[in-house]
Structure 1
Amino acid sequence: MPKMSSDAAAPCQRATLHGPTMGTRWSASVDCDAALDLDALRQNLAAAVQQVDAQMSPWKPESDLVRLNRAPVDAWVDLPPEILEVLTCAMDIHRQSAGAFDPCVGALVDAWGFGAVRDAPDAAAIHTVRQAAPCPMRESLEIDPAAGRARKRAPVQLDLCGIAKGYAVDRMAAVLQQHGVRHALAALDGELRAVGHQASGAPWAVALESPEAGRRAVRGVIELQDLAVATSGDYRHYMEVGDARLAHTMDARRAAPVNNAVASVTVLAHTCMEADAWATALLVAGPGEGLALAQRRGLEALFLLRRPEGLVEMGLGRFGACGARPSLA
């Protein structure tokens, strides 16, 4: 039986708040005092994720991301601090991952039919992108946080879908804490972050999904306490072209969708933004390079690899010690 927390005896209720955003839904499970203003909390959580979407969506013509993408090369663009924070983190993980995480894939995303421009691969557009000289993020973007601005140094198109949802979950966690909530689980799609533990003292239990297209099945359970988790895979957002299934995640180094033996990667981190970006990076890097990269960076990650005999798990950190059911309390 889990040990009770010191405030477990206080009157407490479990509230579940949720709403639409970014083509999916956000949610928050909250253990709180009955006096908490849930309507105000719901409104502020919705505003937090809507702000991230308004700033970083490649689908919204007036988003700050689209403004930056449309700006001429070498023209400084004034940007809000939130997107600058995400761009700075993205640049850092791009460097640490040796380019496996590279948000400069917007043109690739559109060419392959996963963006706002088209809904199917376009051979001419793919050829055009592949003919262009590769320009990784570290060479194509300059960020000036002190002045609140950034500029492109090359004609690239940024896409923050591999990190923005994780950041939105972090913003939700910040809102929960600002409202005095000490026990909550914030979620958006496959990204989650625990604020403390449950009021009972038990960690938050999160399902580890089995990477099967067309159905949702639980493969294991992850227990979270003051920690974030994110999963990237090839089984939720994809398209079928002939006999091939194309994942939505792009490998900038190959100028093509990810195509390796990795079905999914789950990463633990203290922020959901970092967990989200690293899960994307390791999915792109693949089983060999990705495992070596995770080991070098001291990441806690679980790879599910497709093998002829079925799915094979390869875990690092607490995943390595406990398989698919790490206790992280």
Structure 2
Amino acid sequence: MPKTSTDPTRHALNGPTMGTRWSALFHAAPGFDPAPVRDALQQAVAQVDAQMSTWNPDSDLMRVNAAPVGVWLPVPEPLWSVLQLGLRIGAASGGAFDIGMGAAVAAWGFGAEPPDPARVRAAMAPGRRPAQEALELDTATRRLRKTAPITLDLNGIAKGFGADRLAEVLRRFGIADGLVGIDGEMRALGLRPDGAPWTVAVEAPDPHRRAPLAMLALQDAAVATSGDYRHRVKVGDRHLSHTMDPRIGAPLPAGPASVTVVAPTCAEADAWATAMMVLGPDSGAALARQLGLQVLFLLRRPDGAIRQVGVGALFGAAAANRFASV
């Protein structure tokens, strides 16, 4: 059917953030000016980056990291919300998700500096307290203090939270239907103009190319994937995944090729995808069933083939129309 002058106009916006790019896709009435929306979207992710970056020494997160143990610090929104959510998921996951892994991340070379053997040994030393035990939060005054030495790192949740902020901006402009994301962490609002859900690719866990393995159909939901095939560092003759195992203070030695989580918000999906990478398909699947999470584990067979383990109705046989192999 030919397009008419009253048909909604498609707008695909994007911009830089957190070392990658954000995106927003929505439709609006003819004549709608997307420039104010683009500016507001950029401002929203810039605020997240300014507060939560580990690459910016002046970020609010780095101010917390630099503070001595025992000193109370005021914390701005939205950093406060992310810290609270990170600690809740840390506790619910039994410590598999831990926002206090900053020292280990830096020691193993996933920050601005190369791997440092002395700091690696310190990161792997027993006795490290998880973030939920090393931070004290005063919700009445929105302040926190460290009760033990700890370096915070929000890379396992900040991009997801940034995607949620993008969604909030669209809603603020009266846009109820759209698809937003940061580096593959996606959040869907409502439906497409034809009434169909938004389609999002589940990426094949291939370090050499980016290709879809399957497609998800999402409505008012978010999806995030964590895997061992991107953001790696070479130590000796080994390539190590960026996913840190809090139990040993080191990169995850053996885990799923990837984990995809669908949740109400992208911050939740982002954090739980990391937690499920650490827990693996056995303990992780059991916890996902207990908590009612929607999780897809992709596992490598010895011959290199990929095996799927799905938890929740979204990834089960009854969801064949919503989750289809490419």
**TM-score range for the pair, normalised by the shorter chain length:** over 0.9
Match of residue 261 from structure 1: 255
Match of 2:283, as an amino acid?
A: E
Q: Report if the CA contact (8 A) 1:143-1:149 is conserved.
A: yes
The 1:219–1:235 alpha-carbon spacing in structure 2 relative to 1, beyond 3 Å, is same
Report the 3-state secondary structure (helix = DSSP H, G, I; strand = E; otherwise coil) of the residue aligned with 1:262: coil
Q: Report if the CA contact (8 A) 2:255-2:278 is conserved.
A: no
Q: Which moved more, 1:99-108 or 1:121-130?
A: 121-130
Q: How does 1:1-40 map to 2 (within 5 A)?
A: 11-40=7-36
Cα distance, 1:216 vs structure 2:
0.9
Match of residue 144 from structure 1: 138
Report the 3-state secondary structure (helix = DSSP H, G, I; strand = E; otherwise coil) of the residue aligned with 1:286: helix
The 1:212–1:256 alpha-carbon spacing in structure 2 relative to 1, beyond 3 Å, is same
Q: Does 1:113 align with 2:109?
A: yes
Cα distance, 1:64 vs structure 2:
0.6
Match of residue 78 from structure 2: 82
Residue 65 (structure 1) aligned to one of 57, 61, 67: 61
Q: Does 1:220 align with 2:225?
A: no
Q: Please list the CA deviations of residues 93-125 of structure 1 after superposition, one character each: whole Å capped at 9, or x if unmatched.
A: 011100000011000000000013x1x321111
Cα distance, 1:132 vs structure 2:
5.9
Match of residue 312 from structure 1: 307
Q: Report if the CA contact (8 A) 1:54-1:60 is conserved.
A: yes
Match of 1:47, as an amino acid?
A: Q
Q: Does 1:51 align with 2:37?
A: no
Match of residue 176 from structure 1: 170
Q: Please list the CA deviations of residues 6-44 of structure 1 after superposition, one character each: whole Å capped at 9, or x if unmatched.
A: xxx963011100001101000001111124330000000
Q: State the distance in 1 between where 2:130 and 2:321 align.
A: 37
Residue 130 (structure 1) aligned to one of 124, 133, 149: 124
Q: 5+ unaligned residues in a row in structure 1: which ranges?
A: 1-8
Match of residue 202 from structure 2: 208
Match of 2:98, as an amino acid?
A: D
Q: Does 1:284 align with 2:278?
A: yes
Q: Report if the CA contact (8 A) 1:313-1:323 is conserved.
A: no
Name the count of aligned residue pairs.
Answer: 318
Match of 1:235, as an amino acid?
A: Y
Match of residue 99 from structure 1: 95
Cα distance, 1:325 vs structure 2:
6.5
Q: Report if the CA contact (8 A) 1:105-1:252 is conserved.
A: yes
Report the 3-state secondary structure (helix = DSSP H, G, I; strand = E; otherwise coil) of the residue aligned with 2:96: coil
Length-normalised TM-score, structure 2: 0.94
The 1:321–1:142 alpha-carbon spacing in structure 2 relative to 1, beyond 3 Å, is farther
RMSD: 1.7
Q: Report if the CA contact (8 A) 2:255-2:277 is conserved.
A: no
Q: Report if the CA contact (8 A) 1:221-1:325 is conserved.
A: no
Q: Report if the CA contact (8 A) 2:95-2:130 is conserved.
A: yes
The 1:285–1:323 alpha-carbon spacing in structure 2 relative to 1, beyond 3 Å, is farther
Q: State the distance in 1 between where 2:274 and 2:127 align.
A: 23
Q: State the distance in 2 between where 1:135 and 1:325 align.
A: 44
Moved over 6 A (4+): none
Cα distance, 1:91 vs structure 2:
0.7
Q: State the distance in 1 between where 2:183 and 2:128 align.
A: 31
Q: Report if the CA contact (8 A) 1:261-1:307 is conserved.
A: no
Q: State the distance in 2 between where 1:167 and 1:141 align.
A: 21
Length-normalised TM-score, structure 1: 0.93
Q: 5+ unaligned residues in a row in structure 2: which ranges?
A: none
Q: State the distance in 2 between where 1:261 and 1:322 align.
A: 27
